[in-house]
Chains A and B, each alone.
Chain A
Amino acid sequence: MPDTPDELEPRVRRIISRWGHDPGALVQVLREVQEEFGYLPGPALTLVARLLRIPYSRAKGVASFYSFLSDEPLGAYRVLFSDNITDRMAGSDSLLEAMCYRLWAEPGKVSADGLVSIARTSCTGMCDQGPALLVNGRAITALTGERVERLCDLILARTPVAEWPAEFFAVHDNVRRADILLGHTQQPGDAIRAALQRGAAGWSEHAANERSWREAYVGAAQGPIATLEEIKRSNLRGRGGAGFTTGIKWEACRQATGLTRYVVCNADEGEPGTFKDRVLLTSHADLVFEGMTIAAYAIGASLGFLYLRGEYRYLLEPLEATLQRRRAANLLGNGICGQPGFDFDIRIHVGAGSYVCGEESALIESLEGKRGVPRNRPPYPVTHGYKQQPTIVNNVETLCAAALIAVRGGDWYRSLGTLKSSGTKILSVAGDVARPGLYEYPFGVTLRQVLEDCGGADTQAIQISGPSGVCVDATEFGRRIAFEDLPTAGAFTVFDASRDMFDVARNYAQFFAHESCGFCTPCRVGTSMLVASMDKIHAGNGTQHDVGEIDRLNKVLLMSAHCGLGHTACNPILDTLKRFRPAYERKLRSLDFAPAFDLDGALHRARKMTGRDDADAHLEAQP
């Protein structure tokens, strides 16, 4: 334990110098200080604030925003069980119980001997190989009773996590159906060279655009415009959920006035049930970075960020190595591929446990070292993004697609998929299916087709695009994955007839409450009220009144929440209420009113204290 301030100081100083004493790097600094000491000791936080010249309260405010950061001591082993509904379906709750029992720990608390703290965390993106957990930030998947026993042995023997058997940390890609993206054969640099060549090959009539600094270099001028034209021609739309047309976003950013421009790759992948970006970052990192470089070329950016969710911290070293290789190959850095003025580099920023940081303006706040609270819009990031400069934020998969388009052109891309949804979409399939994993299809595929391919039997419902998406039932399996029918960020979570859809909705409600940033009244208070209503129904104390209250909360969230998190927080409940009403009604009391708790049960203590248990010591039995 690092305890005296004197011992802390050199270690904190080292981290802060590595980040250039930049207060904008606060989240990264705090994350590394925590990696160093296991938590954020008060004196370390004070020191960080002093050295970065920020108020203590700001450091504390940021530290307490991110769920992976803790200013209270944690166990030497910090175990976080992934709490997605698919983890629960695969038995994570009883595994957690077994671990707590074996290690004498209580969920959410540090064990008395300080050895371990065990808790739950939002979906860790391992849904195709769950149940999963994180131990000191490292993912362990495919948990079984036996595996948990072995983890307990290692913890009790105080074996450092770095020395645990490598098989524990294996994470599989599980690509089940590859199309143009997962099956691509592009080599590092192909897309960049194609883009540069496209400039050389003509398009001179579009060449004059003095707003991008790069246009000062005669001859290089056509390339960015030509690349942008291909992206526009492809009709590529964002894969992160909102489906904004990528070419229009890039063009708006390119045309915005600013001192400089930024490219941000959104690898926060926080939507429960989504894990395709993990695979792209694991096995196609070059394509991701290539897409960012293409974007930088098109809009005139010289710096980019990859915002990597904290759950994927284990990918940081391999990704840094890829960046290093690309720099060595002149695919990043100054004068990329020998093109004067084509300067671009990429930094990786690791998140610290916050779903809302996937929202693009919250993500930018986090990049700036702040609490991840969505900004007031307008203005939008394309004009006022990172450091108030024009910024594009794109999903990992969008940028990969852009790298393909740079080589093969917009017309080719547009020829795939449907009229309104060009190209392909990677689905993260999990839940009650025989073959969970990634399935890439041209847009327009029916749900039925996907179910057939992944081996879904006796399917009751599919949650498309995670809790913030839609839940469909068997009558709708003829619908298609496409922007014009069922748009999706990728999650495809399957529930068979044995599942209680009420439990699904309740898990999702808990997720939103846990992840609400707390900025606006409707979402901060409303998401927790939803959980309270769902808990009340779950406990058998719900009535029609509670269903009415859910409706009322939904209206408030839809009307006034500050960002998409609040706007969608009611979706899972409303969708399941509409389609699986009996799952709720089974649990409702038939009365119009019931107390939120069991009145007679509340007298239990009093009865014990007085040693009475006669009929008069009980309230009338409740109907």
Chain B
Amino acid sequence: MNERPSFLLDGDEVPFEPGQTVMQAALAAGRYIPHLCYHPEFTPHGSCKLCTARINGRLMAACTTPAETATEVESETEELNDLRRTLVQMLFAEGNHFCPSCEKSGNCVLQALGYDLGVMTAGFRHFFPDRPVDASHPEILLDFNRCILCELCVRAAREVDGKHVFSLAGRGLGKHLIVNAESGRLADTDVKVTDKAVEVCPVGVILRKRVGFATPIGARRYDKSPISAQALADAPRPLERNHD
């Protein structure tokens, strides 16, 4: 019988299928590496850098780095979690996040990561950008104030819905989300409230109207258990194989 290929994650062996990334293999093996722009259903993106790990001594994004044998991956270290906390603080500083009044609170991946990683302070002066909301669509609200530019909606539209509703424009700090209409209004796109792209936003940008507080705060997803546990519960698992 063939040995299954594997690598070491924080000292423990993690098996992988050829073609898997370090992130995919880790999650499948029940090992959590913090992540934000990675989502098991879409092509990895590698932009938020929360999943940065030391792979054979080099710092790489675990979500885009192919798994290879004879590699040592370090993820749960103070140095890396410090980096992750700083990145979360930077994302909070970049947008306008007033969690207490946000209807995503409790279901928000950014907020949940902040709690789970132990981000205790703002850390940086905030930019307070001016980002108008788009309420043009009868069923969907876009509150750009909270966009973290993870491109999950862009990927979901392209890869699942077969559309181009969302896209990115601008560059640097001026990078922002746009919709596929010359008017710039969501109402003028072919978006449907049932689109994958509408469901996937990890923060409170793409919101279905009139359902915001159906589930009360306190009974929401990350109120129940931390994101590290939920990410593992959701991770696609390979069929169990026999180990020698």
Cross-chain contact of B178 among A61, A526, A529, A552 (Cβ < 8 A) = A61
* Chain B CB within 8 A of A527 CB: yes
> CA separation between A234 and B149, bound complex, in Å?
46
* Chain A CB within 8 A of B144 CB: no
* Chain A CB within 8 A of B233 CB: no
Contact A61/B90 with A46-B182, A376-B61, A528-B127 known, Cβ cut-off 8 Å: no
Interface pair B172/A521, CB less than 8 Å apart:
no
Residues 38-97 of B contacting A (Cβ, < 8 Å): 44, 46-50, 52, 59, 61, 64, 66, 83, 86-87, 90-91, 93-94
Interface pair B124/A521, CB less than 8 Å apart:
no
Q: Which residues of B contact A43 (CB under 8 A)?
A: 182
Interface pair A516/B173, CB less than 8 Å apart:
yes
Interface size on B (CB < 8 Å)? 40
In the assembled complex, the CB of A514 is this many whole angstroms from the nearest CB of chain B, namely 7
Interface 9-residue window, one of A443-451, A479-487, A555-563: A555-563
| Complex: chain A residue closest to B158, CB-CB | A55
> CA separation between A524 and B168, bound complex, in Å?
14
> CA separation between A522 and B172, bound complex, in Å?
11
Cross-chain contact of B94 among A55, A525, A562 (Cβ < 8 A) = A525
Q: Which residues of B contact A562 (CB under 8 A)?
A: 46-47, 49
> CA separation between A65 and B148, bound complex, in Å?
18
In the assembled complex, the CB of B86 is this many whole angstroms from the nearest CB of chain A, namely 5
Interface pair A376/B64, CB less than 8 Å apart:
yes
| Complex: chain B residue closest to A57, CB-CB | B167
Residues 161-200 of B contacting A (Cβ, < 8 Å): 164-175, 178-182
In the assembled complex, the CB of B184 is this many whole angstroms from the nearest CB of chain A, namely 9
Interface pair B49/A522, CB less than 8 Å apart:
yes
* Chain A CB within 8 A of B241 CB: no
> CA separation between A555 and B87, bound complex, in Å?
11
> CA separation between A532 and B168, bound complex, in Å?
24
Interface pair A518/B66, CB less than 8 Å apart:
no
Q: Which residues of A contact B50 (CB under 8 A)?
A: 521
Interface pair B172/A527, CB less than 8 Å apart:
yes
Interface pair A529/B124, CB less than 8 Å apart:
yes
Interface pair A521/B87, CB less than 8 Å apart:
yes
Interface pair A532/B171, CB less than 8 Å apart:
no
Interface pair A556/B87, CB less than 8 Å apart:
yes
Contact A45/B47 with A58-B167, A517-B172 known, Cβ cut-off 8 Å: no
* Chain A CB within 8 A of B210 CB: no
Interface pair B181/A56, CB less than 8 Å apart:
yes
> CA separation between A559 and B74, bound complex, in Å?
14
* Chain A CB within 8 A of B125 CB: yes
Interface pair A524/B173, CB less than 8 Å apart:
yes
Interface pair B164/A55, CB less than 8 Å apart:
yes
* Chain B CB within 8 A of A17 CB: no
In the assembled complex, the CB of B142 is this many whole angstroms from the nearest CB of chain A, namely 14
In the assembled complex, the CB of A602 is this many whole angstroms from the nearest CB of chain B, namely 15
* Chain B CB within 8 A of A513 CB: yes
> CA separation between A539 and B50, bound complex, in Å?
33
Q: Which residues of B contact A555 (CB under 8 A)?
A: 83
In the assembled complex, the CB of A467 is this many whole angstroms from the nearest CB of chain B, namely 15
Interface pair B168/A528, CB less than 8 Å apart:
no
Interface pair B171/A518, CB less than 8 Å apart:
yes
* Chain B CB within 8 A of A320 CB: no
Q: Indicate the member of A515, A527, A559 with the most B CB atoms within 10 Å.
A: A559
16 residue pairs of the A-B complex, CB under 8 angstroms, read A56-B180, A56-B181, A57-B181, A61-B167, A61-B178, A64-B170, A371-B168, A513-B173, A517-B171, A521-B50, A522-B49, A522-B90, A525-B90, A556-B83, A559-B83, A596-B125
Q: Give me the interface of B with A, judged by CB distance under 8 Å.
A: 44, 46-50, 52, 59, 61, 64, 66, 83, 86-87, 90-91, 93-94, 124-125, 127, 148-149, 164-175, 178-182
Closest 6 A-B residue pairs measured CB to CB? Answer: A57-B167, A518-B175, A55-B164, A57-B180, A64-B169, A516-B172
